[in-house]
Amino acid sequence: MTEVKNEPENNPSSHLLTDQEVVTFITHGYHIVETDIPEALNQAIYDEISQLKSNPGDGILDAVPKLYQIYDHPSVKGALISLLGESYQMSGHRHCHINPVGSRSQSWHQDGVNQRHHQIRTVLAMYYPQDVSSDLGPTMVVPGTHFRNAPTDQMATYTNFRDQVALTVKAGTVAINHYDIWHAASRNKGDRTRYMLKFLFNRTSEPTKPSWNHDPKTAEIEAGRLGSERVGICSQSDHYKERGLRRQMWQHLLGRSS
């Protein structure tokens, strides 16, 4: 029997986030994982989705089993372990978002149920099997809004935000977002359908220690950003509240609070 070596590049522990990246996720609410998934696999997934007669909803993983390879990728698993702990689980809810040519922009929304806890318990892991250019209807996110709470009907009246970010990414990218971040699909003005596979991942246990590549000295420096960094334009009062919520999230991830 040939011994199978667990090479560092294939080991999720070699792809854990840094203190800087975790603090950035806390302040911004999202993290972009650029993978080395082969172009042929991305194209095969795109083609298989294109051939589906209807959107299978939660059954997308059964309809396109190649998606297992995406969420088993060490870079993706390393990021999920860093934010949710080693025992994280994939939720039974997942969806293939289809943005056809000529679509209208989607309304801003939060996927969370507006039960505010300000801890990282669920994330959205959005995989893109094709390159997403600015004209192909990219997902838009508003950094820092995972600390905001707004009724869906009120958010539907908003159009563009000064600080919004278009997730223009390469095929094989997985964007990991806090469950409560404000996001929306934009209008597809391109020449092909844009697909995005949304999978949810949940924390299953309370953190007792950092689950990422943690260095106390580096962390002390990076943690200073929690109280100083402004992600978007907001009032001094809102920024004051946000700083406290960021610190709560950080302390929880470090295993220092319940």
Model pLDDT for residues 33-43, shown as the tens digit of each residue: 999 999 999 99
Q: What does the pLDDT look like over 4-16, one tens digit per residue? A: 334 557 788 899 9
**Cα 228 from chain centre:** 23
Strand partners, 183: 109, 141
- Domain ranges for the chain: 8-209+227-253
- The CATH number of domain 8-209+227-253, selected from 3.40.50.300, 1.10.3720.10, 2.60.120.620, 3.40.920.10: 2.60.120.620
Q: The pTM is what? A: 0.92
- The residue among 170, 28, 175, 6 whose CA lies nearest residue 74 is 6
Helix 19-28, helix 74-84: angle, nearest 10:
70
Q: What does the pLDDT look like over 99-146, one tens digit per residue? A: 999 999 988 888 866 566 678 999 999 999 999 999 999 999 999 999
Contact 154, 205 (CB under 8 A): no
- The residue among 100, 95, 96, 54 whose CA lies nearest residue 193 is 100
